[in-house]
Amino acid sequence: MSSRLIPRRSRIITALAAPVLAAAVLAPAASAQASQPASAAAAQRGEVSAAAVTFSDDFNGPAGSAVDGSKWVVETGDNVNNHERQYYTPGTNNAALDGQGNLVITARRENPAGYNCWYGSCQYTSARLNTSGRFSQTYGHFEARMKLPRGQGMWPAFWMLGTDIGSVGWPNSGEIDIMENVGFEPRTVHGTIHGPGYSGSGGIGAGYGIGDDFANAFHVFAVDWSPNKITWSVDGTVYQTRTPADLGGNRWVFDHPFFLILNLAVGGYWPGDPDGSTVFPQQLVVDYVRVTN
């Protein structure tokens, strides 16, 4: 992991409804702290009702319908900074409800609208959603139940950015990556924080592996965020905790509101581009997103 010296992700995307000045870079994960049960993360969040739910989307609605615009902003554009290959589109071709209580973000090998990307005519389309201007929160439990895509070049993510990114820029705004996966690691996900002095290849995080591909079943990915502490878990098992003591004297910037982001990127510095083994379309299927205080 530490051998990757190229920043994983920087993001500058134009939002349809509310601009998000996101320029963030994901970093290689450091060694995980010892895994331990997280009070079973309230039995895989079965006891989440004990806390006040501040944001929830179960993605109920007719098949083919759009996400709830009162909760989500659909972003559009490409991403030259990461050398990602997709164009994030508007509408429901790449992000739609499936009629069974899921949001499906679909990456396709196509370019029917003739989109132009940093490398020329775009080869792929996908979707990215955020809650900027709709919902943000400081501290709490943030989780999503998802089934990941598979294949070389796939890069799904569930993450957060500080709401002050437009004024202080990235990484001073902070970034919390709740879950990332790259296709060449089908049984591993990553959680990372980025801030001033620990961004890009210097981001601080860890990976977590299981004995089966994450694409074969739904899993719950979560963070518990409190003053001076962030803890990551998968299916209720804690695999990493970060505090200011991990920053080597750099500033802890996780003390203000953050908003949520869901996306499925195709290609880029970290995952590499799709190859002949990659099957399209690929889907990130999201059962729910839930936040409590």
Domains of the chain: 14-292 (2.60.120.200)
CA distance 165 to 225: 19
Determine how many CB atoms are found less than 10 A away from the CB of residue 109. 16
Comparing C-alpha atoms, which of 80, 103, 140, 74 is closest to residue 218? 103
Structure confidence at residue 97 (pLDDT): 98
Residue 13 reports pLDDT greater than 70: no
**Is 180 part of the annotated catalytic residue set?**
yes
DSSP for residue 84: -
Structure confidence at residue 200 (pLDDT): 84
Residue 174, phi-psi category: left (phi > 0), alpha (psi -120 to 50), beta (remainder): left
Provide the pLDDT confidence category of residue 24 given band limits of 50, 70 and 90.
very low
Q: Which one has a higher pLDDT value, 9 or 206?
A: 206
Structure confidence at residue 11 (pLDDT): 37
Structure confidence at residue 51 (pLDDT): 86
**Is 75 part of the annotated catalytic residue set?**
no
Give Cβ neighbours of residue 47 (< 8 Å, ≥ 6 apart): none
Structure confidence at residue 21 (pLDDT): 34
Q: Which of 110, 143, 175, 185 is catalytic?
A: 175
For 158-168, what is each residue's pLDDT tens digit?
999 999 999 99
For 233-284, what is each residue's pLDDT tens digit?
999 999 999 999 999 999 999 999 999 999 999 999 999 999 999 999 999 9
- Averaged pLDDT of the chain: 87
Determine how many CB atoms are found less than 10 A away from the CB of residue 33. 15
For 71-123, what is each residue's pLDDT tens digit?
999 999 999 988 999 999 999 999 999 999 999 999 999 999 999 999 999 99
CA distance 265 to 165: 21
First-last CA distance in the chain: 33
Determine how many CB atoms are found less than 10 A away from the CB of residue 218. 16
Q: What's 27-80 look like in SS3?
A: CCCCCCCCCEECHHHHHHHCCHHHCCEEEEECCCCCCCCCCCCCCCEEEEECCC
